[in-house]
Structure 1
């Protein structure tokens, strides 16, 4: 599952490659998506590459190849129409705002119940942050013995940045809702009130570090006012095919 911004960027790159055979520059991508810095484009590109949608071509500047497109676009995302540079150099995707919510509600296990039906939300990035879409139509049955006190919810994992903690792409993690956690705890972190990610929490002074469990990924550091704890990891389910 791609975020809306990832889909917009992927479609923009694909359209530019088809039109001229050359991928757009980071500055062009930044302007096209209305982002303030190229670092945001770098994160989107890395996320698309990680999920197998694009490939960087070695020894060639600005060389990107679209490997595949999503089988189905998220609601409200359509293939953009890129205007000719002579008339309008800025890419303006036609996007209808989706119903994205950052706060994730949970469900509490009560009494002697053997199983609890927990809300199952969209895929959470164990790589780069993605928007979390609240979807009350999906749920998953969890043995009550896996849950402690308080409310819980489930999330599907996308990415491989937590593999050394035993969390793989496609796993379902069980999260206990809380607004604080000890250093070293694997948490669901809400970044800038818009994105969520699954990482290990590290605090130092007024900074919060979101630490991956894979040496191929960098620890990201934020001011304490930019990160809110949405819950902590208490269980994991894995389906073998």
Structure 2
């Protein structure tokens, strides 16, 4: 967060900025105008004017022109670490078709850094087994995925086999078939006809097991 300079901000502006910092840090969300007005003991209009002033002075950035979401900026005018997150749904079961959220069973959410994971409609899957450990994806990890219906050779993808079984493997398109390759010498690559596979997404990151440490697959 930028330092609050006595010459840059008024006392009331400093108070509002400190309040927003506390609220976002404790709840992960921007408080509504009604809540902020009640907590600060001022009118809705006054809160709006103060927020606009903080935006003008470069302490806040609104996510969109009419969005309620505010980002507190750091010294580099980037979103401060306290607000750089987003929740991604953990999908319990995949079925065919996109968009995915209308059909899938949810198994909770995982929090990731919004500055790193910027894709739209991200979803995630909990990994079972050790077939991808050579790529740094282990049993119990959560694979964060970008919805896709295509893949490039060598990419790690979520593939739906025969419209039912989901798997995370490295994708290769051959002349007359699709090869899904594990990253563990104990497992063999599998071959499928083109009509037996539906690509559902590309793995763009992994949250490590119970500790929840995010990292990129190899």
TM-score range, shorter chain: 0.5 to 0.7
Give yes or no for contact 2:127–2:139 (8 Å, CA) kept in 1: yes
2:92·2:107 contact (CA, 8 Å) conserved in 1? no
For residue 164 of structure 1, give the secondary structure of its aligned residue in structure 2.
helix
Between the aligned partners of 2:119 and 2:113, the Cα distance in structure 1 is: 14
CA contact (8 A) 2:143 2:206 kept: yes
Q: How does 1:1-241 map to 2 (within 5 A)?
A: 114-122=84-92, 134-136=104-106, 138-239=108-209
**How much has 1:170 moved relative to structure 2?**
0.7
1:5-46 per-residue CA deviation (whole Å, 9 max, x = no partner) reads xxxxxxxxxxxxxxxxxxxxxxxxxxxxxxxxxxxxxxxxxx
Instruction: Report the alpha carbon displacement of residue 178 of structure 1 after superposing the two structures with TM.
Output: 0.7
- Distance in 1, Cα, partners of 2:116 & 2:126: 17
* SS across alignment from 1:214: coil
Q: CA offsets, 1:87-136, max 9 Å, x none?
A: xxxxxxxxxxxxxxxxxxxxxxx766622111112389xxxxxxxx9323
Partners of 1:170 and 1:149 in 2: CA distance: 23
Paired with 2:86 and 2:174, the residues of 1 have a C-alpha distance of: 37
* Shift of residue 137, structure 1, vs aligned partner: 5.6
Determine the C-alpha separation between the residues in 1 that align with 2:134 and 2:210. Answer: 19
1:149 Cα deviation from its structure 2 partner = 2.9
Number of residues of Structure 1 aligned to a counterpart in Structure 2: 124
Q: Distance in 1 between matches of 2:93 and 2:197?
A: 19
* Aligned equivalent of 2:43: none
Gaps of 5+ in 2: 1-62, 65-70, 72-82, 95-102, 212-218
